[in-house]
């Protein structure tokens, strides 16, 4: 999953960047509205963290312009505590959720996870594909209840596929969503990671669609068990 952070306060931007990286996201940071708008306009993001008070172009304008050009990625706005009207204006401009400054990183993370899941059509915090289960809260992946130990890149690829299961995902799409801007991208390495992941998973869930890409789907016979488990109790922070 790849996230764009637009925040002009250097310390806060650094802190959000480090936290998201730690959680396994690919992260790009912009420090003003113009650069942020450009990145969101040209790169595919799974979510955006958008501060409203920004130099060069304010956050609301950034958001309005994206929505006008039909950019529909989930956007979480950062608002100032004393300015409640910012939230109203933010939602009207097309924001999906907000966090009030100052905030705990845990809250930001929970809200982002929820936005990303919902944008991919999942209400549950646990994503299942046959015997493979991703707990989006802990980031833990299990196969037949045994914990999988993927590397950071393998995790990013598998998490993206789990969010988009049963859909064909091209190597380009994968590359764009698991690497940040500064990464030396080579879509051939995706193939290597997929190969390693298949070995680690030990179950045949990642199909190759010739000439198109990959598709994550439950193995034959496991279809009835696939789907989402209705565990929603820990979602109180994410609503």
**Beta strands 140-143 and 132-135, pairing class:** antiparallel
Tell me the closest approach of the beta carbon of residue 83 to Ca ion, in angstroms.
12
Select 51 or 154, whichever has its Cβ closest to Ca ion.
51
SS3 (DSSP) at 175: helix
Residue selected from 51, 97, 173, 180 as contacting Ca ion according to rule CB under 5 A? 51
Region near Ca ion per CB under 5 A, out of 8-16, 139-147, 175-183, 205-213: 8-16
Write the DSSP symbol of residue 158. Answer: H
Position 58 contacts Ca ion (CB under 5 A)? no
Q: Quick one: which of 160, 155, 120, 124 has its CA closest to 141?
A: 155
Q: How far apart are CA 31 and CA 99, in angstroms?
A: 18
Q: Is residue 8 part of the contact set for Ca ion (CB under 5 A)?
A: yes
Give CA–CA dist 20/27, Å, rounded.
7
Stretch binding Ca ion (CB under 5 A), from 3-11, 24-32, 148-156, 168-176? 3-11
| 3-class DSSP assignment, residue 79 | strand
| Residues 187, 199: Cα–Cα separation, whole Å | 19
CA distances from 16 to 48, 57, 119 (A): 12, 21, 21
Q: Where does this chain touch Ca ion (CB under 5 A) — which range of 29-37, 49-57, 102-110, 164-172? A: 49-57
CB nearer to Ca ion: pick between 56 and 119: 56
Q: Closer CB to Ca ion, residue 28 or residue 51?
A: 51
Q: How far is the CB of 166 from Ca ion (least distance, A)?
A: 40
- Does residue 32 touch Ca ion according to CB under 5 A? no
Write down the least CB distance from residue 180 to Ca ion, Å: 22
Tokens 């705990």 — which residue?
104
Sign of CA dihedral 106, 112, 114, 116: negative
Of 7-15, 61-69, 165-173, 193-201: span binding Ca ion (CB under 5 A): 7-15
Token pair of 75 as six digits? 């956007």
Q: Considering the complex, what minimum distance in angstroms separates the CB of residue 62 from Ca ion? A: 12
Q: 206 near 160, Cβ under 8 Å?
A: no
Give the one residue of 24, 53, 94, 219 binding Ca ion; rule: CB under 5 A.
53
The arrangement of strands across the sheet holding 213-216 comes to 168-169, 213-216, 206-209
Question: Residue 32 or 235: which CB sits closer to Ca ion?
Answer: 32
Tell me the closest approach of the beta carbon of residue 8 to Ca ion, in angstroms.
5
77/161 with CB nearer Ca ion: 77
Residues contributing to the site for Ca ion (CB under 5 A): 8, 51, 53
């Amino acid at each position: 999953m790849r996230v764009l952070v637009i925040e002009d306060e250097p310390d806060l931007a650094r802190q959000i960047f480090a936290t998201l990286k730690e959680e396994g996201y690919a992260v790009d940071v912009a420090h003003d509205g113009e650069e942020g708008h450009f990145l969101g306009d040209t790169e595919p993001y799974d979510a955006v963290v958008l501060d409203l008070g920004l130099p060069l172009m304010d956050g609301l304008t950034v958001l309005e312009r994206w929505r006008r050009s039909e950019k529909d990625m989930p956007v979480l706005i950062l608002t100032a505590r004393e300015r409640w009207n910012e939230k109203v204006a933010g939602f009207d401009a097309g924001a999906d959720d907000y966090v009030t400054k100052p905030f705990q990183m845990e809250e930001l993370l929970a809200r982002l996870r929820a936005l990303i899941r919902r944008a991919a059509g999942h209400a549950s915090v646990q994503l299942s594909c046959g015997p493979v289960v991703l707990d989006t809260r802990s980031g833990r992946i299990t196969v037949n209840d045994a914990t999988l130990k993927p590397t950071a890149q393998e995790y990013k690829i598998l998490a993206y596929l789990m969010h988009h299961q049963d859909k064909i995902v091209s190597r380009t799409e994968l590359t764009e969503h698991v690497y940040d801007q500064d990464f030396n991208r080579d879509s051939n390495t995706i193939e290597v990671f997929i190969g390693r992941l298949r070995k680690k998973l030990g179950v045949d869930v990642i199909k190759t669609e010739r000439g198109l890409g990959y598709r994550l789907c439950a193995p034959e016979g496991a279809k009835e068990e696939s789907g989402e488990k209705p565990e929603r109790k820990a979602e109180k922070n994410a609503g």
